[in-house]
Structure 1
Amino acid sequence: MNNTSLAPKGDAPTATDAILDLFRRLYAAWGDNDADAFAALYRPDATVVMPGVLHRGREAVRAHMAAGFAGPLQGSRGVDEPLDIRVLGETAIVVSAAGILMAGEDELPAQRRRHATWVLHRTDGAWAVAAYANAPAA
């Protein structure tokens, strides 16, 4: 994740800093194949929509990732480059370029490039994923 274009200016932590930290923790959990840590960053009522997939709730996200980490996603890395972050009070919308690098890959194949939209919600100062959707990138 290269976020230099979104890095805030100055020393004070911002909502953008916290959001980028959420992404770092999310993809660290992916790299560790830790479905529990990954899903813990989602709200209990989160939704995930991807081509052919609809997951409702944190437990559905956890189960999907656990099955993936035990199977086709073992050793993979999720990549996500936030292109736009908009904070609207306690909600943030992040549009990103995303994809999955399978074990041994260093470059994301064109057929696995996605554009994603993340809806994040802040409760008690902590950001969590409320909704995620992606579609093939053109």
Structure 2
Amino acid sequence: MTDTGTLHTRDDRAVREVPHALVAARAANDAKAFADHYADDATVVLPGGVFHQGRAEVRRYMTAAFAGPLRGSTSVDEPESVRVVDGDTAVVVSRSGLLLPGGETLPADRLRRATWVLSRRGDAWRVAGCHNCPA
């Protein structure tokens, strides 16, 4: 018999690791590692009306961004709220933002809130949907 409290704690930790893994992939300018955390059918909505559908589109977008305007940038993404809704779905709200090369603190005009819907796919948690907006 599985202790549901232990399972919930393990899931909570695994879910919290997803934003941290995305930050690490972004710091490495690694579009493949970044996109690997997204489900094949993920949806992403960003400020300015940017909409991406699917892991392949996320990878293409991040490849171009890392080669151009986001080269050398890093990000901040700290979970503020984590809810494991059921055994295979979680919702994370995080404080996030973009640090340009050489930046050490997040300027107020780049502070964002992101809402992530994660789903368990096999043994891993993947981003099924993400919405990012000014805080």
Same fold (TM over 0.5): yes
AA matched with 1:72: P
Cα RMSD between the aligned structures? 1.5
Identical aligned residues as a percent: 51
Q: Matches of residues 40-59 of structure 1 in structure 2 within 5 Å?
A: 40-51=36-47, 52-59=49-56
- Contact 2:77–2:94, Cα closer than 8 Å, also in 1: yes
Residue deviations 1:26-70 (CA, integer Å, cap 9, x gap): 111111100011001100000000122000111111111111100
TM-score, scaled to structure 2 = 0.89
> 1:28 and 1:136 mapped to 2: Cα distance?
22
For residue 15 of structure 2, the aligned residue among 15, 19, 24 is 19
Aligned to 2:93: 95
- Hey, what's the Cα distance between the residues in 1 that align with 2:72 and 2:92? 26
Partners of 1:111 and 1:22 in 2: CA distance: 25
Q: Give me the TM-score of the superposition, normalised by structure 1.
A: 0.87
CA distance in 2 between counterparts of 1:136 and 1:34 reads 25
Alpha-carbon distance, 1:16 to partner: 1.3
Give the structure with the larger helix fraction.
2
Partners of 1:125 and 1:37 lie apart in 2 by: 17
Q: Which residue of 2 aligns with 1:113?
A: 111
Instruction: Give, in angstroms, the shift of residue 13 of structure 1.
Output: 5.7
**Gaps (5+ residues) in structure 2?**
1-5
Equivalent in 119, 131, 134 of residue 132 of structure 2: 134
Distance 1:53 1:68 in 2: 13
